[in-house]
Structure 1
C-alpha cells in the first residue's frame, strides 16, 4: 500500500454556487470532481470560535482533539504546549511504529539544516523533525525530489532562487516520484489560506488554477493498484470570499483508490489519522 496525503490549508465546503464560491467556477473541473465526491468533516471540534490552523492541523495529524486539549482554537504556529502534543505522538511516528517508510515532500529553501530549529515551526515541521529528524532541502528540490510549498516556485525568487518556474503538472510528477519511493507521502499547500485572508480575488483564482492543474495530475496516483490518494484541510476560508476570516464550514476529505471506502464514514478531523493507520494495517 502506498498513500499520498495532500493537505490544503483553508479549504472548506461552501455554497454550491459559482457566483458565491470560487471553488465552483467552471474553469476548475478537476477540483469540482474531487470535491463532489468528498466526505465533509467537522473542523470546529466542539470548541467555541472559528477553527484555526495550529490546532486544526495538529488534530488532523495526531488524531487528538488539539483544540479541546488546549482549551481553545490556536492560529498560526503551535506554541510550546501544542508543540509538545504534536511531538508526543504524531502520524509519522505512528507510521514508523508500523515500519512504514514515510516522508514530507515539501522542500525547505535552506543551506544549513541546523537553522530550522531557530525558525518558527509549523505543525508539519514540528512533526517531521521529531519523527524523521530532517526535512528536504534545496538540493532535493532542484533534483525533482521535493516540491516547493507554492508548487510552481513562484514565491522563491525573493529568497535567492534564480531558476525557472515549473508547471503544476511537473510539480505533481515530482510528488508522484517521491510517493513511489515511500509508503506514505505528505504534501502541504498553504497559499489557499493566505489568499483567503488577503481578500484578493486575483490571488484566490491564481491559487485555484494552480491547484486545478496540480491535483488533476496528482490524483492519477489512485489509478494504480494498492495506491490511495487523500486530500483534506484544517478549516474553511478560500471558499467564502465575503470574509477574510476562517469559516465554520466542513472541510473536504477526498479519498480515491484502494481502500477509499474506509474514509467515507469519517465525521471529524480526529478520525483521519486513525483511518490512515487502519488502511495500512488492512493492506
Structure 2
C-alpha cells in the first residue's frame, strides 16, 4: 500500500516567507513535512528550477539538469523524454513486474487538447512510456485541483474537505491491489503563478485551502494504512509575493520514518527507487 504524492511548485516551509500558506493548522501535513528532509532543487545551476528537469530528477534519480545543461520545463522535450522512457520509476517498476498507476483524473478536455498538440508533463509521459493508461479503471481517481475551481477565484465547489479525506481513504484501500500509486498534484504550481506583491486575498485563500485539502487527502490515506511519500519539484506557492518559481528547498517526507541523508532532488529520486526495491546509486 504505497502512495507517492508529488506536489508541484511547493517549497519547504523552512524557506517560506512570513505569512505563507504554510502558516495554518495542517495537523497531518505539517508534522509529516517537519519530520522529513528539505532538499536543494537548484543542483548548483543558476536560474529558476523548472518542472521538466525537476520532475525528471525525481522520476529517474538522475541529474536531468546536467543532462539538459540548464533548468528546463515545464514539459519534457525529446532529451528528457528519452531519459524518462528509459529510467523513470514507472518504466523500471513495470519492467520488474510491478503494478503501478497514476491515480490522477484527466477530464475529456485534456485528451482533446493532447490530440491537437501533445504536451504531456513528466508524470503522464512516464506512465505512457511504461505502456500504462491514464485514468486507469478500478481506482478512485483524484482531480489535481482537489475540488477547487480551475480558474480564479478558485472556490471549492465540487468537493468538500470531508469528501477529499474520504477520497484519500478510498484510494488507500484501493492501493492494496497495486505496488505503487502516484499522484501528480500540479495545481499548486498554477496557484503559485498567480502570486504578486501585494498578494491578492483570493490567491492566498486558494493556496491555504489547497494545502488544507492536501492535508485531508493524506489523513484519509493514512487512515487506510497506506505508506505515503510526499515530494515537490521546486518552490513557488510557498512565496506568493512573486509569481515565478523560487530557489526554495523542497520537501521529501515519509509517513513511517524520518528522512535523513538525501540532500537534493537527485538524491530524492534515488531514495524513491530504494523505497520501491529498485537498484539505486546512492546509500542513505
Bin of the TM-score, shorter chain as denominator length: 0.7 to 0.9
CA distance in 1, matches of 2:178, 2:2: 8
Which of 130, 148, 151 aligns to 2:146? It is: 151
> Quick check: 1:37–1:254 contact (8 Å CA) kept in 2?
yes
1:68 counterpart = 2:71: no
**Shift of residue 20, structure 1, vs aligned partner:** 3.0
CA gap 1:97/1:244 in 2 versus in 1, 3 angstroms:
same
> Quick check: 1:171–1:214 contact (8 Å CA) kept in 2?
yes
Task: Name stretches of at least 5 consecutive residues in structure 1 with no aligned partner.
Answer: 157-162
Query: After superposition, what is the alpha-carbon deviation per residue over 1:195-251, rounded to whole angstroms, capped at 9, x for unaligned?
Result: 111022122122122222222222345xx4xx5310000011111122211111111
> Quick check: 2:106–2:135 contact (8 Å CA) kept in 1?
yes
**Shift of residue 96, structure 1, vs aligned partner:** 2.0
CA gap 1:48/1:176 in 2 versus in 1, 3 angstroms:
same
1:267 counterpart = 2:263: yes
CA gap 1:112/1:215 in 2 versus in 1, 3 angstroms:
closer
1:36 counterpart = 2:55: no
Q: Which residue matches 1:189?
A: 185
How many equivalent residue pairs? 263
Q: TM-score, normalised by structure 2?
A: 0.82
**Shift of residue 120, structure 1, vs aligned partner:** 1.5
**Shift of residue 152, structure 1, vs aligned partner:** 2.5
Q: Which residue matches 2:169?
A: 173
**Shift of residue 154, structure 1, vs aligned partner:** 4.3
CA gap 1:112/1:206 in 2 versus in 1, 3 angstroms:
closer
Query: After superposition, what is the alpha-carbon deviation per residue over 1:107-147, rounded to whole angstroms, capped at 9, x for unaligned?
Result: 2223997985653201011100010332116xx4xx75321
Q: Which residue matches 2:126?
A: 127
* Bigger share in helix: 1
Q: TM-score, normalised by structure 1?
A: 0.82
> Quick check: 1:20–1:240 contact (8 Å CA) kept in 2?
no
Name the SS for the 2:239 alignment partner: coil
Which of 195, 204, 211 aligns to 1:201? It is: 204
Query: After superposition, what is the alpha-carbon deviation per residue over 1:73-100, rounded to whole angstroms, capped at 9, x for unaligned?
Result: 1121112222222112210111123322
**Shift of residue 18, structure 1, vs aligned partner:** 8.1
Q: Which residue matches 1:51?
A: 49
CA distance in 2, matches of 1:172, 1:100: 22
Query: After superposition, what is the alpha-carbon deviation per residue over 1:7-47, rounded to whole angstroms, capped at 9, x for unaligned?
Result: 0111111447884322022x323232122112111111221
CA distance in 1, matches of 2:57, 2:16: 30
CA gap 1:60/1:248 in 2 versus in 1, 3 angstroms:
same
CA gap 1:130/1:115 in 2 versus in 1, 3 angstroms:
farther
> Quick check: 2:194–2:240 contact (8 Å CA) kept in 1?
no
CA distance in 2, matches of 1:74, 1:164: 34
